[in-house]
């Protein structure tokens, strides 16, 4: 009996490309082309995926036994196609990053009615004026989810920490009927009266409210909670502590306006991924300590506070504490190397060089010195922090600092639940609609955190 011919790598790639063209290019929405391509790769037979991995010199199953062939192909492609990040090119990279993150997302979270395309483009480019937004507020309707509800979102402009404009995007789950009026109001399926305040990742240098549209939409649809995503200012134009100042300003705004989103100011949960996870942890830390009359910025050398810390302390003293926090592969300890840096510092989604560039951009012109509670959450006083659900990615240079932070909180008697996403790299939330395993795991994590929060409410 003859042996079936094994296709060459070139023939295999040609076949894969043709398959992907059939899948991707039949869709009219080219804005999400990466979504169709990367998702389509997952539909290839495992044998074909492994041959592609071998051709690309992607990680093997022996190296990362918890990562399936599709995930290892994504990692391999990223390693081949991603150029080294340079601090002088961050501004150009920012637009490219924003475009690509949207391109990975499912078009279903962007379907909308009665939209002004020019307004949408301006939002993406962050060129909105306050008058333009106030005069052109739009409600975006998403297809009904499996519970029979729609998710709507609206961009608003609030003041940043220096009184300038800052975009926030407000999401609400709605009963599936016509919407009337200009504000997000009506019948919300938010029985928990919870609102999630979300901070995007991107090394404090990249990202905006569009880059995590998919995650915010899915959380809103799955939980019924309101979600508010914050477009804080970025480095290097705005070094530390600008991002945390803007984040605290957003928290302060939400405590006063949670009711217009059908939520309670006493039921704010903080969430962020990567650097955004670090910002969420810093907001939780600063607010929690201010409400018990204890600043969280004492320096070890002289036990004093800088002027900025005093201002924050006074601003936050009377604010309600956050109910809980969900941190997704967060930055918690800038400047400290952990074993995961050596294990996963090269060849993955986030590498050592990336972090070095991001940290330099964020800190080189900063007035703060390291270690500092307003830079690294682990450096501050976390004894009063809210209950925390902390998610680490196995194949992540930041894995260990997330788990060390969780252990620190547990040592203080804080209610903590951890989850390590096996076989997943840094930034896995951006793969939730293109990788089946990640999608299932994200649904599980959101369900687990929902139950975590409901247990807190019940006690």
Which one from 247, 264, 274, 433 is the annotated catalytic residue? 274
Q: Which residue has the tokens 């078009």?
A: 107
User: Containing H/E element for 334?
Assistant: none
Q: How far apart are CA 201 and CA 357, in angstroms?
A: 15
Which one from 396, 400, 430, 435 is the annotated catalytic residue? 396
Please tell me the predicted confidence (pLDDT) of residue 240. Answer: 96
Please tell me the predicted confidence (pLDDT) of residue 308. Answer: 54
Strand pairing of 195-199 and 226-230? Answer: parallel
Q: What stretches in the chain show pLDDT beneath 50? A: 1-6, 28, 113-144, 178-182, 185-186, 295, 298-307
Which one from 200, 217, 359, 426 is the annotated catalytic residue? 426
Please tell me the predicted confidence (pLDDT) of residue 10. Answer: 61
Omega before residue 129 within 30° of 0, cis: no
Please tell me the predicted confidence (pLDDT) of residue 181. Answer: 47
CA angle, residues 283, 240, 299, in degrees to nearest 5: 70
Candidates 178, 386, 181; CA nearest to 267 is: 386
Q: Where are the domains of the chain?
A: 9-81, 88-458
274 is catalytic: yes
Top-level class of domain 88-458: alpha beta
Q: Quick one: tokens of 189?
A: 């399926």
What sign for the dihedral angle of Cα 313, 317, 418, 449? negative
Q: How far apart are CA 137 and CA 150, in angstroms?
A: 18
366 is catalytic: no
User: Containing H/E element for 392?
Assistant: strand 388-395
Please tell me the predicted confidence (pLDDT) of residue 31. Answer: 87
Task: Check if the beta carbon of residue 354 is closer than 8 Å to that of residue 203.
Answer: yes
Secondary structure (DSSP) of 163-232: SSEEEEEEEEEEESS---SSSS-S----TT--EEEEE--STTTS--TTTTHHHHHHHHHHH--EEEEE--
Task: Check if the beta carbon of residue 97 is closer than 8 Å to that of residue 207.
Answer: yes
Please tell me the predicted confidence (pLDDT) of residue 367. Answer: 87
Q: 307 Cβ partners below 8 Å, 6+ apart?
A: none
Please tell me the predicted confidence (pLDDT) of residue 291. Answer: 61
Instruction: Put the strands of the sheet holding 388-395 in their side by side order.
Output: 140-141, 149-159, 165-175, 226-230, 195-199, 268-273, 324-328, 388-395, 416-425
């Amino acid at each position: 009996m003859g042996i079936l011919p094994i296709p060459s790598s070139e023939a295999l790639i040609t076949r894969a490309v043709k398959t992907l063209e059939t899948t991707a290019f039949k869709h009219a929405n080219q804005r999400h082309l990466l979504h169709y391509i990367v998702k389509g790769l997952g539909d290839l037979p495992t044998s074909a995926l492994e041959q592609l991995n071998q051709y690309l010199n992607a990680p093997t199953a022996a190296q990362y036994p918890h990562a399936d062939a599709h995930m290892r192909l994504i990692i391999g492609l990223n390693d081949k196609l991603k150029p080294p990040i340079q601090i002088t090119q961050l501004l150009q990279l920012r637009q490219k990053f924003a475009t690509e993150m949207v391109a990975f997302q499912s078009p279903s979270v962007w379907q909308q009615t009665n939209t002004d395309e020019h307004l949408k483009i301006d939002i993406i480019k962050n060129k909105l004026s306050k008058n333009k937004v106030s005069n052109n507020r739009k409600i975006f309707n998403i297809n009904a989810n499996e519970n029979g509800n729609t998710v709507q979102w609206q961009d608003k402009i609030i003041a940043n920490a220096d009184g300038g404009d800052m975009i926030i995007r407000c999401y609400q789950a709605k009963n599936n009927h016509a919407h009337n009026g200009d504000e997000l109001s009506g019948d919300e399926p938010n029985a928990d009266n919870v609102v999630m305040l979300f901070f995007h990742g991107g090394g404090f240098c990249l990202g905006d409210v569009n880059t995590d549209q998919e995650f915010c939409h899915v959380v809103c649809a799955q939980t019924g909670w309101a979600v508010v995503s914050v477009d804080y200012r970025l480095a290097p134009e705005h070094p530390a502590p600008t991002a945390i100042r803007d984040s605290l300003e957003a928290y302060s705004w939400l405590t006063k306006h949670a009711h217009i989103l059908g939520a309670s100011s006493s039921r704010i949960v903080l969430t962020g991924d990567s650097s955004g996870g670090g910002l969420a942890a810093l907001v939780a830390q600063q607010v929690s300590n201010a409400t018990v009359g204890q600043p969280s910025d004492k320096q070890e050398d002289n036990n004093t506070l800088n002027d900025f810390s005093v201002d924050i302390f006074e601003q936050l003293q009377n604010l309600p504490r956050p109910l809980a926090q969900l941190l997704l592969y967060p930055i918690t300890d800038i400047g400290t190397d952990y074993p995961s840096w050596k294990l996963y510092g090269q060849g993955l989604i986030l590498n050592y060089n990336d972090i070095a560039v991001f940290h330099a951009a964020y800190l080189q012109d900063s007035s703060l010195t390291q270690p500092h509670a307003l830079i690294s959450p682990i450096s501050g006083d976390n004894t009063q922090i809210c209950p925390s659900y902390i998610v680490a990615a196995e194949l992540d240079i930041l894995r260990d600092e997330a788990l060390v932070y969780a252990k620190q909180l547990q040592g203080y008697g804080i209610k903590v639940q951890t989850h390590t996403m096996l076989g997943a790299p840094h930034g896995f939330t951006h793969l939730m609609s293109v990788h089946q395993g990640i999608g299932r795991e994200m649904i599980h994590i959101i369900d687990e955190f929902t139950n975590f929060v409901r247990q807190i409410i019940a006690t």
